[in-house]
Structure 1
């Protein structure tokens, strides 16, 4: 038997087909080969067409089925991971009314800040565990204020994963974890926040119905099955935002466990068992995939928008003839600290850890006579690792010690420079696993469909492939470079 997992990212759509009994993927892939376009009609805006995600899901699924020759009759479940905080709006005919305002769009920052002040910081932090910030609820309010004709046609709003589930099943629903990431969930009353709805002037009917994260959430329709090349009636039995799902894929489910990822954006995600928050709301707290009324499981999420996208920017503009691996190899010839070159990697919208300021990316102390492309390649990765360290210090202030970081063996964690710099700064052990978000979604779906008896069964074949410990001999040099970077950061933050 097999389970399919989709990961709906802003860069690409990923898919993994998991052999449920062996706990290993049979085949996996992504589409398109080049990163998906993010439209930016105005500075700070970021939009994508949800129908494009669906088209790519169909193309990728058919490609993998054709390559693997899997018996589609044996595919029993489907799970979805998705880019968080996006807004998709549809009318009564389930037609998309406007492009999705995605996670890195910063147009609603001021709306969220005003809500935080007027609703009250005490309520927001105690009950929502966050400021309304630049999240889905604030983005919806932007539509109401600026596009009233569109707003008046809205039947339901959705997160990106809810939209894909709708295309698969014909049903519109969401999860408590999803509502919490949109800042619609009141953790104290365990219900949708009436205060948010009242302040933003939304009717509750605009929100989808709630289903458990691991559950029968719908069945594959005949038309969707034909488009995908699958059989009708496969159960859709799991969905989660990409960061809770990334943690889930690494078996990070209990208090004190920590996951990290460094794709387009960078994330550190720690699980706690109490309703805690950062008083400045520089990190976020959302319901984790296994949160319930009976068992508090909150994911503390540090998100850095400008990480892998900076590495991609450098490759496109300075090294289009090189692979990322070749860039990494050249960077290793450069000393720690890059001969004074420093890069602040914050050029992808407002950063939560700077209290929603958009300080931009800055390339500093460039010496035309000394610095080469290789210096830039290393300075990018050091700057990203330094930004992780800066954010982890915020998590430490909440009383959380981070001794072990689990990550998938992908994206920037493939780079020895990035992972060694991070280990040397945090003094944490980094564990790399052979998994990713799509594989995690496939495991979650199999568990949600009761094809695994327990989560222990779901993860018994998860493979740890590498351990990175900090190097005491290099830690001092790394801290010197980090402290110089911090001084430069103070000029812009």
Structure 2
């Protein structure tokens, strides 16, 4: 038996999944780490915590599976996109990495819109926003000059961890697309966009395909992790495309709905759809793309509520289930870090509106779940306005989709059928990607046929859909009323 290891880095945790060449999962292990919110609008992570989580996860899957590390033939990593690590000449991080939910770079975004709109439209799949690497790095250049003066190398999250395993200095083209520094026409780093930062292409990692073998585990990494020196390591790619792949969305028109730290609705297409409401990325399958909406605080809203007010998810779900649709008038907007689709406004704030003395913790819990459902409906309407052809059903992915209550709520709110796959997380997708790269699986569809299957279907309740559409009108009206206040117009 040969084994394949996938490792994912999400918003608050890293997960490793070990699969065999028979397509079965033999072990998983998860390690949490902190996102640092030092000021309003700030969100950072310590790159060394990713490395520590990787070491713990690898040791965890080896211990649980009792697999001989020498039988692991390949490793692939993925992570949340466009989170850059700035480093000195020795690849030592100079400061914490600005996470993609950070909104501090609003002035830099406006600067890019006013001065570089033409080149961005020509070379980039996205519109300027605080989530992209370019404005984040421009903020550091403008506001953290001492650290910026020492920058010699730049890597992205999964690439930094992989560098610790192999010593390589590369990234993949899908990751590069999210940097806002990559020219999609030449498939090279953009001299003009890098020039805004005073950087040149020699300081950036070499660009590879996700399936390229870019290095092997070093002796030092073997001593730290228990892996065998010489084990092959793929370039890997982004967490979202690995979820899309793992969910089985590999053909034009298929749709995924993600309930994770962020929320996304993606459609597989044969071309990108540049629009302020969409994030566009290439698929791992040549000539396909997966444009999609994006909300910043999806399951992150539920985690925030749990961490702030206490309880565990099963207990909170049970409480929420006891409350009727509409939470007896209580409305929540999940804009903890501003919002992307369909508002592209980092100033928006989360809120509870309509609070009464009769409302209990159960009401607040349900309103959080409903608020996220409304934000996904908001996204779905923005997507549909672009007339992108897609199926009438979606595969639900992300940790939030494991909740039967939330799954039904989303199905009812959007009025669509949801499929749940046996496995659909990024680390599983990365493990399958390693199998494709090594020839264990003939192609992407062969990997899915051998490793995954649909385990449930959720059908919308027509009466519930009508009630959620009424709630949606209130949700939109409140958002419209509060936006001027959040923008400082008062």
2 CA distance for matches of 1:250 and 1:317?
32
State the 1:258 CA deviation.
1.7
Q: Which residue of the partner structure matches residue 417 of structure 1?
A: 405
Secondary structure of 1:298's aligned partner: coil
Matching of residues 233-272 of structure 1 within 5 Å: 233-272=230-269
State the 1:238 CA deviation.
4.4
2 CA distance for matches of 1:156 and 1:443?
30
Does structure 1 conserve the Cα–Cα contact (< 8 Å) formed by 2:129 and 2:344?
no
Does structure 2 conserve the Cα–Cα contact (< 8 Å) formed by 1:91 and 1:97?
yes
Report the CA distance shift for 1:66/1:415 in structure 2 as closer, same or farther (over 3 A). Answer: closer
Q: Which residue of the partner structure matches residue 282 of structure 2?
A: 287
Does structure 2 conserve the Cα–Cα contact (< 8 Å) formed by 1:247 and 1:260?
no
Which of 437, 445, 451 is the aligned partner of 2:440?
451
Q: Which residue of the partner structure matches residue 30 of structure 2?
A: 30
Matching of residues 276-425 of structure 1 within 5 Å: 276-278=273-275, 281-291=276-286, 295=287, 297-318=288-309, 320=310, 322-351=311-340, 353-368=342-357, 370-402=358-390, 403-408=392-397, 411-425=399-413
Q: Which sits farther off after the overlay, 157-166 or 40-49?
A: 40-49
Q: Which residue of the partner structure matches residue 5 of structure 2?
A: 4
Q: Which residue of the partner structure matches residue 466 of structure 2?
A: 476
Secondary structure of 2:233's aligned partner: strand
Deviations 1:295-327 (A, max 9, x none): 2x2221322112212212222233x2x321121
Does structure 2 conserve the Cα–Cα contact (< 8 Å) formed by 1:238 and 1:441?
no
2 CA distance for matches of 1:23 and 1:382?
36
Secondary structure of 1:304's aligned partner: coil
State the 1:490 CA deviation.
1.0
Q: Which residue of the partner structure matches residue 121 of structure 2?
A: 125
1 CA distance for matches of 2:383 and 2:119?
21
Secondary structure of 1:183's aligned partner: coil
Matching of residues 214-233 of structure 1 within 5 Å: 214-233=211-230
State the 1:275 CA deviation.
3.2
2 CA distance for matches of 1:111 and 1:206?
22
State the 1:376 CA deviation.
1.1
Does structure 2 conserve the Cα–Cα contact (< 8 Å) formed by 1:405 and 1:430?
yes
Q: Which residue of the partner structure matches residue 480 of structure 2?
A: 490
Q: Which sits farther off after the overlay, 109-118 or 433-442?
A: 109-118
Q: What is the aligned length? A: 478
- Using the size of structure 2 for normalisation, the TM-score is 0.93
Structure 1 unaligned segments of length 5 or more: list them: none
Deviations 1:436-487 (A, max 9, x none): 1111111111212222221122111312111111111221112111111111
State the 1:222 CA deviation.
1.1
State the 1:130 CA deviation.
1.3
Does structure 2 conserve the Cα–Cα contact (< 8 Å) formed by 1:174 and 1:210?
yes
Does structure 2 conserve the Cα–Cα contact (< 8 Å) formed by 1:79 and 1:239?
yes
Does structure 1 conserve the Cα–Cα contact (< 8 Å) formed by 2:4 and 2:72?
yes
Deviations 1:388-411 (A, max 9, x none): 110111111221244221123x52
Q: Which sits farther off after the overlay, 300-309 or 143-152?
A: 143-152
2 CA distance for matches of 1:415 and 1:275?
32
2:84 is aligned with 1:87: yes
1 CA distance for matches of 2:345 and 2:463?
36
State the 1:51 CA deviation.
0.8
State the 1:42 CA deviation.
2.4
Secondary structure of 1:273's aligned partner: coil
Structure 2 unaligned segments of length 5 or more: list them: 484-490
State the 1:273 CA deviation.
1.0
Does structure 1 conserve the Cα–Cα contact (< 8 Å) formed by 2:171 and 2:235?
no
Deviations 1:214-234 (A, max 9, x none): 111211111112211011111
Q: Which sits farther off after the overlay, 261-270 or 4-13?
A: 261-270
State the 1:168 CA deviation.
1.1
Does structure 2 conserve the Cα–Cα contact (< 8 Å) formed by 1:235 and 1:449?
no
2 CA distance for matches of 1:207 and 1:27?
35
Q: Which sits farther off after the overlay, 137-146 or 6-15?
A: 137-146
Q: Which residue of the partner structure matches residue 453 of structure 2?
A: 463
